[in-house]
Amino acid sequence: MGFPKNAAVNTKSVLEQPEVGKLIDELGQLTNLTQAQLAEILGVAYATINRWENGHIQPSPLAIKQFRALIDQLSQSSSETLRAGIQRLLTQHFSHEG
The identity of residue 66, as a single letter, is Q
Bridge partners, 14 (sequence order): 95
Name the residue ranges covered by the structural domains of the chain.
13-96
Q: What confidence tens digit (pLDDT) does each residue in 33-60 have? A: 999 999 999 999 999 999 999 989 999 9
Which pLDDT score, from 0 to 100, does residue 94 have? Answer: 77
Judge whether 70 and 41 are in contact, CB under 8 Å: yes
Judge whether 19 and 92 are in contact, CB under 8 Å: yes
CA neighbours closer than 13 Å in the CB half-sphere of residue 10: 15
Please tell me the class of the 13-96 domain: mainly alpha
Express as a percent the part of the chain with pLDDT over 90: 40
Closest by CA position to 70, among listed 30, 97, 98: 30
Bridge partners, 13 (sequence order): 96
Judge whether residue 24 has pLDDT over 80. Answer: yes
- Confidence band of 93 (pLDDT split at 50, 70, 90): confident
